[in-house]
Amino acid sequence: MENFIKKLKGELIDIVEWLEDSRSTLVYRFVRHQNEIKNGARLVVREGQAAVFVNEGQTADVFTPGTYTLDTANLPILSTLRGWKHGFNSPFKAEVYFVNTRQFTDLKWGTMNPIMLRDPEFGPVRLRAFGTYAIRVIDPGLLIKEIVGTSHRLSVEGLTDQLRNFIVSRFAQSLGESQIPALDLAANYMQLGGVIVQYIRPEINAYGVDLTTLLVENISLPPEVEQALDTRTKMGVIGDLNRYTQFQSAQALRDAAQNPSGGAGLGLGAGLGAGMGFNMAQQIGAQNQAAMQQAATPPPIPQTAAFFVALNGQQVGPFDLTTLAAMAQRAELTRESLVWKQGMPAWSPAGSVPECAAAFAAVPPPLPPQ
C-alpha cells in the first residue's frame, strides 16, 4: 500500500524543485518513487541553486537558475545516454541533485597542534592560529562526481574537515617560508591569507569548489611565552626600578598616614608608615653616601702636552713642557726651533706655539748690537 501511494504521488507530481531553506545543506537529492520523472515535467531551479541529472552513476545535464520543461531539447546529454533518437513519451528514470551554489561564509579553521617555527628573535617557538574562510561551488557536476557519490544529502560540515586540513597544512608551509618574526605577524595577516588562498585554490578546485576568502584572525604564542612578554613590557614601562621603588614606598607612606581608622587600626597604620619611612630613609641615605664617596674621589691627573723637537735635522722627543723649559735655559731650544705634537697640522716654530712660549719666559732676550 505504501509503495502504491508513493507511485501515485510520483505520477501526479510533475514539478521538480527544491524548496528547503537550509543554510548548511550543500547538496540535496530530489526524492521520487523509483526516480521516475514524467516527460514534460517542469524543473524549477532557483537563484543560488543548480540541478544536476545523473543517469546510472554518470553525470549528465546541469541546469542553472530558471524554469525548464524536461524533454529531449533540454536534456541533450541524457537523451544521448538513453538513446532517445526521436523523443520519448514515457516517464524516464534519473537522479536529480540540487546543489547550493551560494557562498558559505564564516567557516572556521584552526591548528589542532602547535606549529614549530624558528623565530629570529625568540628562537624555536610554538604558534597556534585560527580564522575563518568562505567557499562556493563552481562546478556542480564535478562536486557530485568527486564528493557526493550516492549520498542523499551533503552538508557543508561534511566538506569542511577536508578543507581545514588543506588550510592548516598550507598555513604552516606559508608561515615557515615567510620568515616573518612572531611579533610582526599581526601586520601581515592579510598577506598570509592571500598567499594561502593561492596555494589551496587549485587543490580544492579539483572538487568543484572555490575558496573565495580566507582570514587569519589570530596567531598566538604559548601562555608561558606571553607571560614573559608581558613581564618584559612592564619592565620597559617602569623604566628606572630604583625610582619606581621609591615612588611605591612614598605612596604607601602617604596612604598609611591618611588611614582614618582609630585604636588598634591607627597603631597598625602608624607602625606600617614608620616602618616604610625608615626603609625609605635608609635607601635615600645609602644613595647620598654613595654620592658623597663619588664626590670625595679626586679626578684623574690631567695629561701634559708632549712635543717633538727638530734638533740638528733629527726628530727627538717627545718632551713635556718642563723639559722644554730646561732645554730653553740651555739654549738647546730657541723660538725658531721647529716643534710638533699630536693634533698639529704641521711643524711650527716654538715661539709661535702658545704652550711652548711659556718655556722662554725665564730666558733673557738676545743682547742688542753694540
Q: Does position 35 have pLDDT exceeding 60, yes or no?
A: yes
Give the mean model confidence (pLDDT) for residues 27-49. 86
SS3 50: strand
Q: How many helices (H) and strands (E) does the chain have?
A: 10, 18
Q: 252: pLDDT confidence band, cut at 50, 70 and 90? A: confident
Q: Which residue has the higher pLDDT, 264 or 151?
A: 151
Instruction: Output the nine-digit C-alpha cell for 340.
Output: 710638533
Per-residue model confidence (pLDDT) at position 8: 46
Q: Does position 314 have pLDDT exceeding 90, yes or no?
A: no
Mean pLDDT, the chain, whole residue set? 79
Per-residue model confidence (pLDDT) at position 243: 67
**Which of the listed ranges 181-195, 225-239, 283-297, 322-336 does the model predict with the highest average pLDDT?**
181-195
Q: 312: pLDDT confidence band, cut at 50, 70 and 90? A: confident
Q: CA 251 to CA 271: how far, in whole Å?
A: 15
pTM over 0.85: no
Q: Does position 118 have pLDDT exceeding 80, yes or no?
A: yes
Write the burial class of residue 26 (CB in 10 Å: 0-12 exposed, 13-18 middle, 19+ buried). buried
Question: CB-based contacts of 85: which residues, under 8 Å, 6+ apart?
Answer: none
Q: Work out the percent of the chain whose per-residue pLDDT is above 70.
A: 76
Instruction: Output the nine-digit C-alpha cell for 261.
Output: 581608622
Q: CA 66 to CA 71: how far, in whole Å?
A: 15
pLDDT in tens, 318-340: 888 888 788 888 878 888 888 88
Q: Which residue has the higher pLDDT, 30 or 267?
A: 30
State CA 86 to chain mean position distance: 65
Q: CA 174 to CA 131: how far, in whole Å?
A: 15
Give the mean model confidence (pLDDT) for residues 21-45. 84
Pairing between strand 115-119 and 104-110?
unpaired
Per-residue model confidence (pLDDT) at position 343: 79
Buried-exposed string 87-114: b where 16+ CB fall within 10 A, e elsewhere: ebeeebebbbbbbbbeebeebebebeee
What number of residues does the chain have? 370
